[in-house]
Amino acid sequence: MRCNNTQGAYACHQGKVLERTVESTFKAKGFEIVMFRDWAQRKDAYGEDVLLKHCPFNTIYKHPGYTEFLVLPKTCQSAKGPIRIECKWQQSSGSVDEKFPYLYLNFIEAMPEKELVIIVDGNGARSGAVAWLKDAAKYKKYTTGTNQDKEIRVFSLTEFIQWVNTTFR
């Protein structure tokens, strides 16, 4: 992918590198990497463990939204079901960290999965932003609707790879 010289294109390219790293980490564990739209049309055509890309959900604003990945870990005993994965790379000043509360509320209120992994790296987030997200993620009981007992994990890229290596042996 060739990026033009805008700051937005540069940030997009950095995020794609993070996404490719997630894909290769799961591929090394034997996961099949599939676009969500393809999987939705032929679910039975894919193997036991699948990593879906570009996964839809309805946001808290009742609009279509997407996360980068949805893990369907059929052979993993420790997973409670599908796991959403959201990638946030911020290498320089920008607005990625300002979206943390929106992502958090979407998971609590709108995403159907019980587990969310947020990969935050690049060391460009504002002071206190990642700490806020990690503190918010500590609360496992939520009182809204049927969205009780959800779990959020906030990882650096290194922590994420370690988690995958431990969880999906």
pLDDT in tens, the chain (169 residues): 455 555 555 555 566 899 999 999 999 999 999 999 999 999 999 988 999 999 999 999 999 999 999 999 876 656 668 999 999 998 877 778 888 999 999 999 999 999 999 999 988 888 899 999 999 998 655 545 554 678 999 999 999 999 999 998 7
Going from the N-terminus, what domains does the chain have, and what CATH number goes with each? 17-167 (3.40.1350)
Give the pTM: 0.86
Are the C-beta atoms of residues 110 and 63 closer than 8 Å to each other?
no
| Interatomic CA distance for residues 102 and 150, integer angstroms | 16
Pairing mode, strands 115-121 and 83-89: parallel
Per-residue DSSP letter, 48: S
Are the C-beta atoms of residues 66 and 86 closer than 8 Å to each other?
no
- The per-residue pLDDT for 1 is 44
- The per-residue pLDDT for 116 is 93
Are the C-beta atoms of residues 29 and 48 closer than 8 Å to each other?
no
- The per-residue pLDDT for 90 is 83
